[in-house]
Amino acid sequence: MKGYLKIFTYGCQMNDLDSQKLYSVLYDRGWIPTTSTSKADLIIINTCSVRQKAYEKAMSNIGRLRKNKLAKPDLVIGITGCAAEQEGYRLIERFPHVDFVQGTHRLHAIPDTVDNIVLQGKTHLVETGFNQYIPSMDIVPSPGFMQPKHRAYINIMQGCNNYCSYCIVPFVRGPEISRDYKSILEEIRLHASRGVKEIFLLGQNVNSYRGGITFHELLGMINEVNGIERIRFTTSHPKDMSDDLIESFAKLNKLCPHVHLPFQSGSNRVLKYMNRHYTAEHYLGLIEKLRAKRKDIALSSDVIVGFPMEREDDFQKTLDLVQKVRFDMLFSFKYSPRPGTSASRMPDHVPIEEKKRRLSVLQRIQRKITKENLETWVGKVVEVLVDGTSKRDKSQVFGRIGQNVIVNFPGSPELIGRTINVLVTRANPNTLTGEIV
Ligand code: SAH
Ligand code: SF4
Ligand code: F3S
């Protein structure tokens, strides 16, 4: 054993998966996971920089670790993820107690970096920049580090070529790179042989997957893998959502009836400034087609309020779209300028108070829609894949239905990983409550 390891993870599912991989490869080199920060001999902060708030959170955590380093000079501290890629050496300048910074294409190199520090006493190692092949995409996390064990997150592509004007992702994850489909299928078959039930495909922009076959072809092949019961994916871009992909929701029995399709704004004027390459009408057309193919499909989305130059009438169009579609779940954000993006240089930024007001108006409307949609489940029997025991009440378990809604019900931990029929008895603000039938 080399010592104890703790990883702090910020950001999206891609970062969660990267952390699962890091735990796996570092465990193989003798690092034992711990939840205790003071006990840890190696601390990694896997950062996000998509919005100012996520970035600041990671930075203040790094700052707090200075006193851990003072108390324990052998402690190794590393920064990975999107802020590591974005800032590189600047992080060492700002936080001299940090030993290494490894960018988003350098995940595979971290065990060697840590060895160089621990065995040879090196420090302040920084590596960023993009390559044509990302070795860490092929790393398979060990079952012990998968959360929950019956769901495998699979990285099928990384990076983005879309350059939405507000977004930092293309700068921190690099250009789109797809993983070869043979490697993906091999990983999925391995997971299936170990009892995995659900496959969750990840990419910043899965519709432009080009790893030897198209995305809908890949879905078709995964649908044939024995033992796999459910397939999910995120994220899609409305400009690239093909008819073939929409058709997959009718054709593939394992593909869950849920799409996360960010619309960002209901105003064509704002969509243009955002560089999104579609109109609100096109978006509504896609929703109509999806619902025509699969009546019970659940829809979730992302939206930004207070984009530069967004006027009251633009904001009203966003509200109109939300009321027309009636999303099951909506993730709404106040625009925050990100360094290097073209939107950060646009004129007429909306004052923070106005952004807050728009966000709260939007969220009030969506809360009501979410609740009304959830109420339609009451009295129905649904199939729940059980994910774990409830944090608050150990006599309860929770899981998800195909539409991605969380259901809590009384049950024992033996149910975890199994698909159970549950009668829905109550709708809560964001989840459902039920009982086994
Ligand atoms: N690759 C995904 C997710 C990108 S980040 C996609 O293309 O949809 C997730 C969400 O964060 C985005 O959909 C957007 O709504 C929000 N977001 C991104 N940059 C932002 C910014 N600068 N300010 C506020 N929200 C932002
Ligand atoms: Fe960012 Fe747009 Fe790419 Fe999504 S599609 S990651 S929002 S640039
Ligand atoms: Fe954040 Fe990077 Fe994901 S910026 S949202 S961790 S791709």
303 beta partners? 264, 332
pLDDT in tens, 378-392: 999 999 999 999 998
Q: Is 167 in the pocket of ligand 2 (CB under 6 A)?
A: yes
pLDDT in tens, 55-72: 999 999 999 999 999 999
Query: From atom 10 of ligand 1, which residue's Cα is the shortest distance away?
Result: 302
Instruction: For residue 407, report the phi and psi dihedrals to the nearest 5 degrees.
Output: -120, 130
Query: From atom 2 of ligand 2, which residue's Cα is the shortest distance away?
Result: 164
Ligand nearest, relative to CA of residue 82 = 3
Percent of the chain with pLDDT over 90: 99
Ligand nearest, relative to CA of residue 332 = 1
pLDDT at site 290: 98
pLDDT in tens, 141-199: 999 999 999 999 999 999 999 999 999 999 999 999 999 999 999 999 999 999 999 99
Distance between CA 398 and CA 391 in Å, rounded? Answer: 10
Atom of ligand 3 nearest to the CA of 47: 6
pLDDT at site 89: 98
Contact between 383 and 372 under an 8 Å Cβ cutoff? The reply is no
pLDDT in tens, 223-244: 999 999 999 999 999 999 999 9
Query: From atom 5 of ligand 2, which residue's Cα is the shortest distance away?
Result: 162
Ligand nearest, relative to CA of residue 53 = 1
CA distances to 6, 181, 210 from 328, rounded to whole Å, are 35, 32, 30
Band of pLDDT at residue 202, cut at 50, 70 and 90: very high
Q: Within 6 Å (CB) of ligand 1, which residues are found?
A: 50-51, 166-167, 169, 204-205, 235, 237, 262, 264, 302, 304, 333, 335-336, 338
Q: Is 236 in the pocket of ligand 2 (CB under 6 A)?
A: no
C-alpha dihedral sign at 186, 191, 196, 201 = negative
Query: From atom 14 of ligand 1, which residue's Cα is the shortest distance away?
Result: 302
Atom of ligand 3 nearest to the CA of 13: 3
Residues 6+ apart with CB under 8 A from 365: 319, 322, 323
| Amino acid (one-letter) located at 21 | K
Residues 400-425 have a mean pLDDT of 98
pLDDT at site 8: 98
Band of pLDDT at residue 87, cut at 50, 70 and 90: very high
Residue with tokens 């599912």: 13
**Domains plus CATH for the chain?**
3-127 (3.40.50.2300), 135-375 (3.80.30.20), 381-436 (2.40.50)
pLDDT at site 279: 98
pLDDT in tens, 371-380: 999 999 999 9
- Ligand 2 centroid distance, CA of 260 (Å): 13
pLDDT in tens, 235-286: 999 999 999 999 999 999 999 999 999 999 999 999 999 999 999 999 999 9
Quote the mean pLDDT of the chain: 97
The answer for 166, left when phi > 0, alpha when psi is -120 to 50, beta otherwise, is alpha
pLDDT at site 365: 98
pLDDT at site 184: 98
pLDDT at site 104: 98
pLDDT at site 210: 96
Ligand nearest, relative to CA of residue 337 = 1
Among candidate residues 102, 159, 154, the one with its CA nearest the CA of residue 133: 159
SS3 90: helix
Ligand nearest, relative to CA of residue 83 = 3
pLDDT at site 300: 98
Among candidate residues 230, 139, 130, 221, the one with its CA nearest the CA of residue 179: 139
Reported as type and span, the H/E element at residue 361 is helix 352-375
Q: Within 6 Å (CB) of ligand 3, which residues are found?
A: 11-12, 14-15, 48-50, 81-82, 169, 172-173
Instruction: For residue 379, report the phi and psi dihedrals to the nearest 5 degrees.
Output: 95, -10
Residues 6+ apart with CB under 8 A from 100: 76, 77, 78, 79, 110, 113, 114, 117, 123, 124, 125, 126
Q: Is 134 in the pocket of ligand 2 (CB under 6 A)?
A: no
Task: Outline where 45-123 has alpha helix (H).
Answer: 52-64, 66-71, 82-87, 89-94, 110-120
pTM recorded for the entire structure? 0.97
Residues 6+ apart with CB under 8 A from 277: 162, 239
Cα Dmax for the chain: 64
Residues 78-88 have a mean pLDDT of 98
Distance between CA 56 and CA 214 in Å, rounded? Answer: 38
Complete edge-to-edge strand list for the sheet that includes strand 151-155: 151-155, 198-202, 230-234
Residue with tokens 């390459």: 277
Task: Outline where 194-311 has alpha helix (H).
Answer: 215-223, 243-251, 268-273, 280-293
Contact between 200 and 154 under an 8 Å Cβ cutoff? The reply is yes
pLDDT at site 425: 98
Q: Is 163 in the pocket of ligand 2 (CB under 6 A)?
A: yes
pLDDT at site 343: 98
pLDDT at site 307: 98
Ligand 1 pocket test target in 318, 333, 335, 344 with most atoms within 8 Å of CB: 333
